[in-house]
Amino acid sequence: MWTLQALKRDYRIALIAGGRIDLPALNAFYGTSIAPEECETVEIALPWPLARADWGAAIRGALVGRGMRRHFDRFDVLINSYNIADFGRPGIHFLADFSWDEALRRSLDPPPPGPRKLLHVNTPLRRLYLMLSRAIAGSRPNKRPGSPGLVLANSNWSRDLLRRRHGIDSQVLYPPVAMRVEPPPRERKLDRFVCLGRISPEKRIERMVQVLRGVRARGHDVSLHIVGDTRQTAYGRKLERLCRAEGPWIVLEGGRFGEAKARLLAESAFGIHACRAEAFGIAVAEMISAGCIAFAPAEGGPAEILGHDALLYRNDEEAVEKICAVLRSPALRARLGEHLRRQAGKFSTGNFMRQIRATVEEFLRASYRERDTAGA
């Protein structure tokens, strides 16, 4: 959405996606302001069982990718906002994560609970599922070998991993964070921790509970507010049971969006994250943009966002120690707050839009030079 926001001034733009596209809802969620007359929308219909299911992501992606192909020739530039797509010609691709790298996904992420687990832990069944997805996607007869075009990595960590594992060079472009609520003065913030993001096993929310349980055992009366819808998945329902057993110090906020989410963050002193080796970690960037002092694992994009060893942990015991050190020291807390304010500037929407406009302009110039050379 912020890519569209950046480009709508100078280009005719279109959003192509699977399922229904609700521009007002997307604007409200992401903080953009794209009018229907400014952006063409192309909806790729999905079969009813897949349209709202929380399973079958690979098959959904294959169906959407196949349905998009008949539209590609109308556009000078194709941009994929989620990982590397098969356009059949060079395009611009935002590397979001490594969910498409099967071996890496298995090494980093726990399998989901419930029936979906069968498709993740049963290797022959998983291979059959992925083969079916590739067959549905098909192949483009005019697909060109070699580079996919320009890949934009969301952190230095993901750029380096992409080069090491797949030999693909990329440029770093940090995702944008839109926060509309000004954080209150530090002394008016509540000594509570906020966790936000998708409620799913790889986020390891139960680990955050364990860490903060250890902090409370050291005499710090902190609370944890979990933002996200826990009602839709087996993992979410498991998390609900865990939180109820812990008692009132954990609050399940449910889904919070726009100003409501920004206000909750702005009123909270701290944030906590536990996803292992994440490519970026937009939730962490949102926390520090709202004035929270956040803690995260020492490996991956969140470590790059925070950029300070006092906020990074390698195990639960270290997390407890570092959180307690900050809670005990107002001076350390003030220094970290200043540091994170400087870090947050890297993820502003203005910075992102300037960079994406320059990126598209250069991509077009390179495309024209290539066509002129081929024509000669």
Helix H or strand E segment including 312: strand 312-313
The mean pLDDT value for 263-286 works out to 93
Contact criterion met (CB below 8 Å) for 297 and 303:
yes
Closest CA to 60 of 46, 70, 48: 46
Report the C-alpha gap between 128 and 187 in whole angstroms: 56
Q: How far apart are CA 302 and CA 272, in angstroms?
A: 11
Least confident range from 48-62, 215-229, 317-331: namely 48-62
204-219 pLDDT, tens digit each: 999 999 999 999 999 9
CA gap 287, 282 in Å, rounded: 9
Q: Report the pLDDT averaged over residues 60-66.
A: 87
pLDDT band with cut points at 50, 70 and 90 for residue 119 = low
Q: Are the beta carbons of 35 and 8 closer than 8 angstroms?
A: no
Evaluate whether 250 touches 243 at the Cβ level (below 8 Å).
yes
User: For a pLDDT cut of 90, what percent of the chain falls above it?
Assistant: 64
191: closest CA among 223, 218, 227, 219? 223
**From the CB of residue 82, how many other CB atoms can be counted at a distance below 10 Å?**
13
What is the CATH architecture of 2-176+350-375?
3-Layer(aba) Sandwich (3.40)
Give strand pairing partners of 42.
16
Residues with Cβ within 8 Å of 309's Cβ and at least 6 positions away in sequence, in order, are: 298
Look up residue 238 and give its two tokens: 């498991």
Asked whether the predicted pLDDT for residue 228 surpasses 70, the reply is: yes
- The three-class DSSP label of residue 35 is coil
Residues present in the chain in total: 376
CATH superfamily of 186-347: Glycogen Phosphorylase B; (3.40.50.2000)
**Contacts of range 330-338, beta carbons closer than 8 Å, 24 or more positions apart:** 333/186, 333/293, 334/186, 336/293, 336/308, 336/310, 336/311, 337/186, 337/291, 337/293
Look up residue 128 and give its two tokens.
């059959």
3-state SS class at 283: helix
Q: DSSP string covering 16-40, please?
A: EEES---HHHHHHHHT----GGGEE
The pLDDT tens digits of the residues spanning 157-215 come to 999 999 999 999 999 999 999 876 676 666 668 889 999 988 998 899 999 999 999 99
Q: What is the pTM of this model?
A: 0.84
Quick one: how far is CA 155 from the chain centroid? 11
Task: Give the count of beta carbons closer than 10 Å to the beta carbon of residue 100.
Answer: 14
What phi, psi does 249 have (nearest 5°)?
Answer: -75, -10
Q: What is the pLDDT, as a whole number, of residue 356?
A: 97
User: What pLDDT shows up at residue 139?
Assistant: 61
User: What residues does CATH 3.40.50.2000 cover in the chain?
Assistant: 186-347
Q: Which pLDDT band holds residue 127 (cuts at 50, 70, 90)?
A: confident
